[in-house]
Amino acid sequence: MKTEAAFRRHLLKCDLRHPPGNEIYRRDNVSVFEVDGSLSLIYCQNICLLAKLFLDHKTLYYDVEPFLFYVLTRNDEGGFHFVGYFSKEKYSAQKYNLSCIMTLPCYQMRGFGRFLIDFSFLLSRREGMMGTPERPLSDLGRIAYLNYWLSAILEHLHETLDPVRPKKVTVKSTRVVLSARFLRKFL
C-alpha cells in the first residue's frame, strides 16, 4: 500500500486473516496451510506471481489447478503472515514431492526454507513414497537441497556418535549415507 490510509481502508474491507485451505500444521507461532490450486485459483496464481519477483526461473503462473500449495505463515494477534510456500503436483508420475519453493527474502536464512523442504519429505513419507524435487534444480534449489542434506546428515551423525548415548549403526543411518551419495549425482 502506498499510504497508511490506504492500508487501513484495506483492513476494514478485507476480512481474510489467513490463507484459504486447511491448516494442517501448527506449532507455536508457525502454521502450514494446504491450498488446492483448483479451489483457490486466484490466491495460488497470486503467490506464483509473487514468487516470480524473487525467482528468475519461475515459469508457472496461471496453470495452478493440478497443484497443491503448502503455505507457511507466522502467526500473531494480527493474523497469519505469509512467509513462503512450496507447491507439488497432485498426481506426479515421477513421484516429485516438490515443484517450486520460495521463502520471502525477509525470512531467508532463518530456517524456513529447510522447514519447507523437511515438510515436503514428511508428506512424502505419509503418502508412502520416497519423493524427490522436480528436476532440473535451479541454482538456488541446488544450494537449498545441498544445505538441507548436509545438515540432515550432520544431525544424524551427531545423534549416532554422541558419546553420552552411544548407538549402533542402523539401517536408517545407512540410508542417510546412501542418500548423500545419491544426492551427489544430481548436485
Assess contact for 89 and 70: CB atoms under 8 A: no
Put residue 33 in one of left, alpha, beta given phi > 0 → left and psi -120 to 50 → alpha. beta
Strands 79-89 and 22-27: what pairing? unpaired
Nearest residue to 120 (alpha-carbon basis) of 106, 104, 99: 99
Active site residue 159: no
What b/e string do you get for 8-25 counting C-beta neighbours within 10 Å, with b at 16 or more?
eeeeeeeeeeebbbeeee
**Residue from 23, 134, 155, 159 carrying the catalytic annotation:** 134
Q: Known catalytic residues?
A: 134
